[in-house]
Amino acid sequence: MVTYVQTDEAAAPFSAYSQAVSVPANARTLHLSGQVGVSANGVLAGGEEAQHEQCWRNILAILKADGMEAADIVHVQGYITSGSGTPVFRQVRDRMLGGARPACTLVVVAGLAHPDWLVEIAVVAARAEG
């Protein structure tokens, strides 16, 4: 099980994430490639919120395939194409993570690998073994 690290000696998180997450020595780690708002059948979700939701559905499906879940996510690396998308990123992340509070970095970029993609999210997850 991961441990959320928090100190009053650094700036508090700006939304529902942790300053840091500690992973136990006996944990196996899973690094997920960036996921976009495209479903398993290749369809791009329509609209910003739908793309965010599809990213998270993809992430949760990959975690499940390796016997993990949202609570195992240690770090979220998010990329959005507009700063105005920050509230949507936070709201969908919080809803899809169901109370998990991994460390999180959000970056606004000029564009992603396809011009219609509005968000890309990569995560690192860890689960203690034994």
| 126 CB-side CA count, 13 A | 19
Q: Is residue 62 part of a domain?
A: yes
pLDDT above 80 for 28 = yes
Range of the domain at 103: 13-128
Overall domain count for the chain: 1
Q: Is residue 76 part of a domain?
A: yes
Please give the pLDDT value at position 113.
97
With cut-offs at 50, 70 and 90, classify the pLDDT of residue 125: very high
Beta-strand relationship, 35-36 and 119-128? antiparallel
Q: Is residue 3 part of a domain?
A: no
With cut-offs at 50, 70 and 90, classify the pLDDT of residue 1: confident
pLDDT above 90 for 129 = no
Q: Is residue 8 part of a domain?
A: no
CATH number of the structural domain spanning residue 78: 3.30.1330.40
Q: Is residue 7 part of a domain?
A: no
Q: Is residue 38 part of a domain?
A: yes
In angstroms, the Cα distances linking 77 to 19, 37, 105, 122 are: 14, 15, 5, 5
Q: Is residue 84 part of a domain?
A: yes
* Angle at alpha carbon of residue 72, lines to 30 and 43, rounded to 5°: 70
With cut-offs at 50, 70 and 90, classify the pLDDT of residue 111: very high
CA distance 55 to 58: 5
Q: Among 6, 15, 17, 118, which Cα is nearest to 70's?
A: 17
Q: Is residue 71 part of a domain?
A: yes
Torsion of CA 44, 74, 27, 96, to 10 degrees: -50
CA distance 75 to 104: 6
Which percentage of the chain shows pLDDT scores above 90? Answer: 95
Average pLDDT over residues 94-101: 96
With cut-offs at 50, 70 and 90, classify the pLDDT of residue 57: very high
pLDDT above 90 for 130 = no
CA distance 104 to 76: 5
pLDDT above 80 for 89 = yes
